[in-house]
Amino acid sequence: MDAKELKTLKKKNKIKDSKTDYVYYAICAFILFLLAVIIIYPLYYIVIASVSDPSAVVNGEVWLYPIKMTFSGYANLFDRPDVWRGYFNTLLYTVVGTVFNIVLTIPAGWALSRDYLPFRKIIIPLLIITMFFGGGLVPYIAVCTALGLYENPLILIIGGGVSVYNVFMCKSFFQTNVPKEVLEAAQIDGAGEIRTFFDIVLPLAKSIISVMILFYAVGHWNNYIDALIFQVDTEAWPLQTVLKALLETTAGEGEVAAEQFLISKQVQFTSIIIATVPILVLYPMIEKHFGQGVLVGSFK
63 sits near other proteins (criterion: CB under 8 A): yes
Show the CA angle centred on residue 280, arms to residues 278 and 286, nearest 5°.
100
Closest CA to 73 of 54, 59, 58, 86: 54
Q: Which range in 4-12, 24-32, 65-73, 252-260 contacts other proteins by CB under 8 A? A: 24-32
**Chain residues 210-249 in contact with other proteins, contact rule CB under 8 A:** 218, 221-222, 224-225, 229, 231, 240-241, 243-244, 247
- Any idea what the Cα angle at residue 296 is, between residues 275 and 121, rounded to 5°? 110
Interface stretch with other proteins, choices 3-11, 67-75, 79-87, 154-162 (CB under 8 A): 154-162
Nearest distance from residue 266's CB to other proteins, in Å?
Answer: 11
Residue 66 within binding range of other proteins, rule CB under 8 A: no
User: Do 251 and 261 meet the contact criterion of CB atoms below 8 Å apart?
Assistant: yes
Binding-site member from 26, 32, 75, 99 for other proteins (CB under 8 A): 32
Q: Is 256 an interacting residue with respect to other proteins (CB under 8 A)?
A: no
Q: Is 51 a binder of other proteins (CB under 8 A)?
A: no
- 163-182 positions binding other proteins, by CB under 8 A: 164, 167, 180-181
Please, which residue, 231 or 234, has the CB nearer to other proteins? 231
Closest by CA to 114, choosing from 170, 32, 158, is: 170
Q: Considering only residues 6, 9, 26, 40, which one is a binding residue for other proteins as defined by CB under 8 A?
A: 40
Site residues for other proteins, 68-107, by CB under 8 A, read 103-105, 107
- Side-chain half-sphere exposure of 44, counting CA atoms within 13 A: 11
Give the other-Cβ count within 10 Å of 46's Cβ: 15
Q: Among 99, 102, 106, 93, which residue's Cα sits nearest to residue 220?
A: 93
- Single-letter residue type at 38: I
